[in-house]
Structures are given as structure tokens and as C-alpha cells.
Structure 1
Amino acid sequence: MDIPTPLTQHSESFTQRYRRYMRARGLAYSSEKTYLYWAVRFIRHGKYQNQSDIRSGDISAYLEFLVIKRNVSPNTQKTALNALVFLCREFLKLEVEDLAFCKSKKAIKLPVVFSHSEATAVIEVLDYPFKLIAQLMYGSGLRLNEALRLRLNDIDFNAGTITVRSGKGNKDRQTLLAKSLYADISKQITQVNLTHDRDLSNNLGEVYMPFALARKYPNHAKSLHWQYLFPAPKISKDPRTGRHLRHHIMDRTMQRRMKLAIAASKITKKAGCHTFRHSFATRLLESGTDIRSIQELLGHSDVKTTQIYTHVVGMHHCGVISPMDK
């Protein structure tokens, strides 16, 4: 469940106070969970008994421990660094001086991508509505949870765009909406409308709304345009309020379906839902789309992250031919 867990209003525990601080700062719930995870790991490693025992000077030693003893990847070490600097500098108001530590040199692997025929083969194995979710990941470059969290008002047929709300880094962006999917998405919206009408007739029909929007627009939770494009088959209970809502399809459900579809397609690559996003970027690069446009569509904050796909495309795309093929 990606709904923020309720907070005990008057609790003075470290984790509850830290959660309250992060929510007041407007961090995405995924960031909140990640930052809390690394804070707890850091505290346990340092064997701190009280908040006052925490020292920002210990961050470097912990980051080296992750590399030397845990053999973590550069991305994992970078995530831990960001989380611990936020903890010490922002929450604890400690001075964080220039950090000197051994950086992870673990090789960064190239992303696995499907060929177009492999992508379409996997998609054809999936049934409704999982097929459409996969088509959106491949056709629009969406992460799995970005696709699952789409609301009806995020689809713009006139502009041919999808708006991704609060994506990675808590940023909004727009990406492509494939024209070939217009009919199927329209059918899905019709189905959502029928489900929503049935829920309303049973005095239900609410969906999860972020706290700020829930307070500002209390009636929007029951409006059609805020309904999820891929609603869950069953009503669930909101852990914060106790109200019964219709959430979206859960990520683990889609991941299970995807694993079975890849196996049924006889594909031996180490692939999953995210492979469609990698494949989207690779197809655009192969067709001559400039790297900056791909960066914006994917929502990467740094173009260096996008440039890895230039290695995926490979030398064959530059016209280099093996001597064996001459």
C-alpha cells in the first residue's frame, strides 16, 4: 500500500517525529520510507542510545562500511548519502562538513531491454487490464507505479499526452500518449465509470487523495475525474482514516503477472516491468530522438542518467559491421 501510514499525534518517538517533519516538508511517501530506512540503519550501526548521540561526522565511516562490508552499488551508496545528509543537516540541524569516504566502484550494469518483437510478445500474453498497463509502460516510458497511479484527469486525448503526478523526486511531467491506445483507454475509462457509479450507489466511491488536496477539495475524492485509471477489484480500508476507498491495482499483482508473461514468451533475459521503460527510451534513441527530449519524457533530473541508453543501442546502430559478417 502506497498510502502514508497514520501518525500518532502526540508520540515523541524518534521515528514518529521524523515522519512528521518529512511530511511537513512535503517529501513523497516513497522518499519518506527510504529516508527513514537509512536513518534507522545508521542509528543501529552507530549504536546510538539517544538522538543527542548522533554525529554527522560518522556518516563517512558508515558509507565506507556499506562499500567494504556490504558491497553496495554506487546508486545505493548515493541514496544512503542523501538520506543521511537530510537527517543530520535538515532534521537534526547538525553541521555537515565536506564528507570524505571510499566511493563504490561496483560496475554499473547496462539496463536490460526488449526488442520490439519481444515487447509485443509479452504484451500479447497479458490479459485485461494488465495488457494496457504494459502498453502504457512501453508506449509512454512510465514506471510501474506511475502507470498504476494514473487518474482519469491525467489523460489528455486532445494533446496526446499523459501527465505523471508526483513521479520520482516528487516531480510532475508530461509524456507521450500513443494514438494506437486511444480506443483501449477510452474503453477502460468507460469501465471505470461503471464501477464508480456502482460504488456511489452503495454509498462508496471515494479514492485516496493527498492530504493537502483532501482538505482543499473535500468533494473531489468522489468525483469521476479523480478515480484511478486502473482501480483495484475490491474496496480497501484507508489505514489513516478508517474510511473505505477503492485504491489502484497493487504493484506486486502486476509484477506477478509480468513474470508469468515473460516466462510464457520464452524470454530468458532478466526482465520485469521496468524493462518496458528501458525499451521505450532505447526505441526513441534508435529512431533519432535527441537525448534531451528523452530525458524530459523519462523525468530524469540529470542527462547523464539518460545517456546510459546510448550504450544500450550499441555500435551496430552506427553502421559498424563485424568482420565475420563481411
Structure 2
Amino acid sequence: MKKLILQNDSYRYLEQSFREWLDVQGYAPSTVYNLPNHIRELLHYLESKDIHNIKELNQKLIESYYQRLKERSNQRRGGGLSNAHLNKHIQAIRKFTTYLRRAGRLEIPEVNLKDEETEHKLIYLTEEEINELFKAVKKATGTYNKSAEVVEAIQARDRAMLAVFYGCGLRRSEGVALDVVDVNFDRSVLHVRKGKNYKERFVPVSKTNLKYLSDYIYDHRPELLKGSKSDALFIGSNTIKRMQGQSLFVRLKRLQYYTGNVDLIEKEIGLHTLRHSIATHLLKAGMKLESISRFLGHGSLESTQIYTHITGIRQEREQPFNNISNYDPIRLSEDEF
């Protein structure tokens, strides 16, 4: 609740310090903004209980505060807080207590709050729909004031984009940050240097996706550069600069439209949808959850569990991280080069 005012100087400092800690840890700007706002409500609750020292915070107080959250009204829409919103508060409390422990401000055990059940509305594409996106590449490139060479370069870049965000399951920011040198053709991996929370990882690449990347980098990317120099993998055809997430998103939406598939066109998709799609397809193909978690760069299995709800698959055994690159639903023979 952004309008709450904290009277305690130390609590105001804690809120700001927590915000700065999240930023240093590399969390998304939305997380850096929202989580401290949720924690302000917790600190305000402590003040209402005449508790003015964070060292007095304990599990019992957290549970009492959470029960109050479940009972309070939603000030915007009326009614109670949704389960999804309650889960955001739980996330904020977990991160805040982690911050308190790591900053040496309070010895407090892991928060014992169970996530509320929510309806999973995660959108993903079928393998057939992914194939349709690849096939739409030929149709989705406008030719106005563009040479045939530039048109072919844009098409190659679109295939490479799908190879990175679907074939390798990269996050939007990770794909934007890729440089040409991050594609290791000898080892068939992508080097993700700027992953979430600044974590690096190597992502295996299938033969088909390596082919798409090779065609783009060596045969067509120089056409987009027009003699200029850039380390960026994805280059804009007009600006000759690193493409940002919005530009890549626009290209994906254009491919979506040119599939001509009404059901696919009506889906609300983005670059992250491609990441959800490959994770779902890998799970359905028999990949173990632990391997998919490492492939996606998740910090824990909790983040990967969502895909078991989508597919209805439950897994118990761990398997080595050794066959992701063998999953290759897109065949070069299906493309019209």
C-alpha cells in the first residue's frame, strides 16, 4: 500500500535499504519497485502493534500479519485480496527476511507460509504453432524500399530470433544482451552472460538452430551492418544498432499475424511465450524437471514446477543434463529456403 506512511525512521531506512539490495541482486525493475511497497505494509503493521525494532520480528508476528492480509479488503476493487496478490505479499516477505539474514540484521528462519492456490493461465504454443511461426518468416518481411538482400537478412534474423527464444528458451533480456561471440558453434552452446541475478550459464543448441544462427551470422548479418561494426547478435535493419526487446517483440507479433492461423493470432503471446513453449515441449518429450530447470536458468525447482501443472506430468527421478539438444521438432526440410 503505497500511501501508508511509516513513522519509524529505522523502518523507512529498512524499506529503502531492501529496495537497494533487490536492485544490486539484479531483480527486475518491477520487483525492485513492488516488493518494498508490500513490505511497507508489514512494517506499518508492526508500528500498529507498538513494535519499533525489527529485531522483534518473528514467525508468530508474520503469521498474524498474513492473517490480517487475508481478511482485509481490496481498496481498488472491493472484496478481499486475490490469491495471486496474497502470493506477491508472501514473495515479498520471503525476500525481505532473506535480506535481513544476509545483511546480518536479524536471525530468522525461513518463512513458513504456504502459497495460495491460483489458476494457472500460462500461455504456450503447440509444436504445430511453432512450426507455423517458422513458415511465416517468408511472408512477414515487407519489401518497401528494401533490397532483396536486406529482405533475406531480415528473414534469417527472424529464424535466428525463434532459434534463440524458443530453441534455447532464453529470457527476453538474455536474448537482447547476446553478442555474436556468445554463440559457440564448436561446442553447440550459447553463453548467456547476463542471466537473471547476474548468473551465467551455457545453453545447448540443436543442429537445426545452429544452422539458423550460422546462416544469419555469417551470410546475412553483414548485410544489416552495412559496413558498420557491432558486437550485438540482433541488429536492427534501419538503426544498425542492437535490437531491444520491443523491436524483437514486434517481429514476433508480425510472424504471428502472417501465420494466418486465427486461433494462433488470437493468443496473447510474447517472447516469454516461446520460453514457456520449449519448456512445456521438453517436459512432454520426457525431459526431467531438474534438467529443464538448469536449461532455463531457474534458481530453484519451484519456478519450473508450473510446467507440471500445464502438462499434468509428475516427475520423481533426476536425469543428467545431456539430451536437451536432441529435442529438435523443427526440421530444415520443412522450411522453404
- TM-score bracket for this pair, using the shorter chain length: 0.5 to 0.7
User: C-alpha distance in 2, partners of 1:280/1:98?
Assistant: 32
User: C-alpha distance in 2, partners of 1:97/1:301?
Assistant: 20
Q: Which runs of 5+ in 2 are unaligned?
A: 1-11, 72-79, 142-153, 314-337
1:1-326 equivalence runs, <5 A:
27-30=25-28, 34-43=31-40, 46-47=43-44, 53=52, 55=54, 56=57, 59-60=62-63, 63-64=66-67, 67-68=70-71, 69-73=80-84, 76-91=88-103, 93-96=105-108, 99=111, 103-109=114-120, 111-123=122-134, 124-125=136-137, 127=141, 128=154, 129-190=157-218, 191=221, 195=225, 198=228, 227-231=231-235, 234=239, 248-264=242-258, 265-266=261-262, 267=264, 268-303=266-301, 305-313=303-311
Which position in structure 1 is the counterpart of 2:333?
A: none
- CA contact under 8 A between 2:252 and 2:270: conserved in structure 1? yes
Q: Secondary structure at the residue paired with 1:119?
A: helix
User: C-alpha distance in 2, partners of 1:158/1:312?
Assistant: 35
Which position in structure 1 is the counterpart of 2:3?
A: none
User: C-alpha distance in 1, partners of 2:199/2:107?
Assistant: 28
Change (3 A) 1:193 1:16: farther
**Letter of the aligned partner of 1:228 in structure 2?**
A
User: C-alpha distance in 2, partners of 1:269/1:107?
Assistant: 21
Q: Deviations over 1:213-249 (max 9, x none)?
A: xxxxxxxxxxx6xx221245649xxxxxxxxxx5x42
Q: Deviations over 1:147-205 (max 9, x none)?
A: 22212222110111112224234322222213223344235435369749625xxxxxx
- CA contact under 8 A between 1:192 and 1:231: conserved in structure 2? no
**Letter of the aligned partner of 1:153 in structure 2?**
V
Post-superposition shift, 1:275? Answer: 2.2
Q: Secondary structure at the residue paired with 1:28?
A: coil
Which position in structure 2 is the counterpart of 1:205?
A: none
Normalising by the residue count of structure 2, what TM-score does the alignment of the two structures yield? 0.61
How many residue pairs match? The answer is 262
Deviates more, 1:300-309 or 1:166-175: 300-309
- CA contact under 8 A between 2:94 and 2:111: conserved in structure 1? no
Normalising by the residue count of structure 1, what TM-score does the alignment of the two structures yield? 0.62
Relative contact order (C-alpha < 8 Å, sep 6+): which is higher?
1
Q: Which runs of 4+ in 1 moved over 6 A?
A: 12-16
User: C-alpha distance in 2, partners of 1:148/1:105?
Assistant: 34
User: C-alpha distance in 1, partners of 2:280/2:31?
Assistant: 29
For the aligned residues, what is the CA RMSD? 4.0
User: C-alpha distance in 1, partners of 2:212/2:169?
Assistant: 18
User: C-alpha distance in 2, partners of 1:170/1:273?
Assistant: 20
Post-superposition shift, 1:284? Answer: 2.5
Post-superposition shift, 1:110? Answer: 6.1
Q: Percent identity?
A: 25
Change (3 A) 1:131 1:66: farther
Q: Which runs of 5+ in 1 are unaligned?
A: 1-11, 200-223, 236-245, 316-326
Change (3 A) 1:285 1:91: closer
**Letter of the aligned partner of 2:178 in structure 1?**
L
**Letter of the aligned partner of 2:129 in structure 1?**
E
**Letter of the aligned partner of 1:198 in structure 2?**
S
